[in-house]
Amino acid sequence: MCGELDNVNDEGQRERVYCVKFDLEDVANFSRMSRDLNPLHVDKDAARKTAYGQRLVFGLLGGISCLSKLKIDKAYRLHAVEIEFRHPVFMGISYKVCVCTSKIRGISVELRDGAQALVRLKPTLVKKMQRVKKSYAKKRKKSHVGKDGNTPEVELLDYTENEFSSGIEMDGSYTIFGRIQELKTSGLLPSGMDSQSVEVLMLCSYIVGMKLPGKRALLSKLFIRFEEMEFKGKSHLRYTAKTCSYDKTYQLLNIDVSCLIGKRIIAEGCISAFVRSERPPVPLAKIKDSLHPSKDFFKGKVALVTGGSRGLVATFVQALAMQGCHVVINYYKSKREAQSLKRALKDNGNRVSLLQGNIGDLAWCKKAKKHILKKFKRLDFLVCNASQPPVPLPESPEVQPRARHYISENLNLYKTPLDIFLGIVADHHGVCIAISSLFVESNPSGFLHYVQLKRDVENLIHLASAAHGKARYIVVKGLPPC
């Protein structure tokens, strides 16, 4: 966290700016305190399979971090908060929290990447009234609470579209009792804001990430209104959650939530969350039925496929193997997926080998070349696909170094194998296949760095193949992993 900057923005609003960077410990602590164990945030293997290719920061960790920068006068309290989760938040990146104050528009807070708002928050503050003091400590049922003060861990839920459309209702109990002091120490408890409100927001993260929508959730919007009460003792929350609509086109679920202590509602509102699609692998039988007879063209030939353990290129691997080609699958981190793909193909009588390593490392590629030549004496196909998933970046000057780094680092994953293996492919009059993207045609906003990378890849393979007259090349423009 860097210091506070105080200035006036282009619209004449007073603006306080803070620097913030989230790390793995922040995400782990939030998960532990909120009991939100959604795999998109806590499971690196599961997150790697998504369009983001990595774990995301919890949306409400970003939202509460924005709230923590508010300076709430002691005479006021947080009455309501509206939060928009506009873009994903990643670990290890320096962001800014901007608190804008205007006589006309009131207070707004944004978590920004350059000029782009990732999280936008609108708080409503009202003057405090005479507080109602109650204690529910004696009424709490011990059977609901574990030794550490938390309710027992629950199952991560998932539903079908039909279930969302039919409607789902649920209720349960929740507490983060015993960790309020930890909240204060972490800086997540805003000055002048009661811990109960933060607990309600953490409950919202828990509901969305674990219960409804559950496993495939991605927060979109949240509106919560808080009642004014003060609770002493170890209060235990109850909640109800009910789907009110589901848009199949946008896969957007709208949920009504209420939070209670005893029979009294202390907070209520609505949450919108996207339900992420998970593309299932194409069945081997379907691939086999779609293949044309090759008349033994592929038999005895060898292919090296980079980044070939999952996604579109995994289908390439399956098609080549089922046509009689021996496929060498290069992978770096996706060991489980690579081994699963190998088993599936070998069980069907196909020949597949695994080769783990960084395809962008020159020394490793030279060793891999020696291994392939020693074992197979040839290489007929080189399929270049390895690259990091495209992460949207704003078009602002302060983000350009990250864009240039992304292009340079990923272009190397194409250039290095072409430098090392294309000569062998040319010796056997083989084919090099480069995986590009349809984004090159549509040029969507936020992905200019990814578009530039794929254009550079297309130019690179054209020049590299021209330098080896006997090598042919194909550029495949597939759908981006979104």
Q: What are the structural domains of the chain? A: 5-275 (3.10.129.10), 284-478 (3.40.50.720)
Give the chain's largest Cα–Cα span.
Answer: 86
Tokens of 173: 């109990």
Mean pLDDT computed over 304-332? 83
pLDDT at 139 over 50: no
pLDDT of residue 210: 95
pLDDT of residue 360: 93
pLDDT at 335 over 90: no
Tokens of 33: 């305190």
pLDDT at 1 over 50: no
* Structure confidence at residue 11 as a pLDDT band (50, 70, 90): low
pLDDT at 8 over 60: no
Q: What's the first-to-final CA gap in the chain, in angstroms?
A: 32
The count of other CB atoms within 10 Å of the CB of residue 126 is 12
Mean pLDDT computed over 440-456? 91
* Structure confidence at residue 147 as a pLDDT band (50, 70, 90): very low
**Averaged confidence pLDDT in the chain:** 84
Could you give the CA distance from residue 4 to residue 19 in angstroms, rounded to a whole number?
8
pLDDT of residue 144: 39
Phi first, then psi: give them for residue 471, nearest 5 degrees.
-95, 135
Least reliable range by pLDDT among 125-129, 206-210, 304-308, 471-475: 125-129
Could you give the CA distance from residue 306 to residue 15 in angstroms, rounded to a whole number?
48
pTM given for the model = 0.83
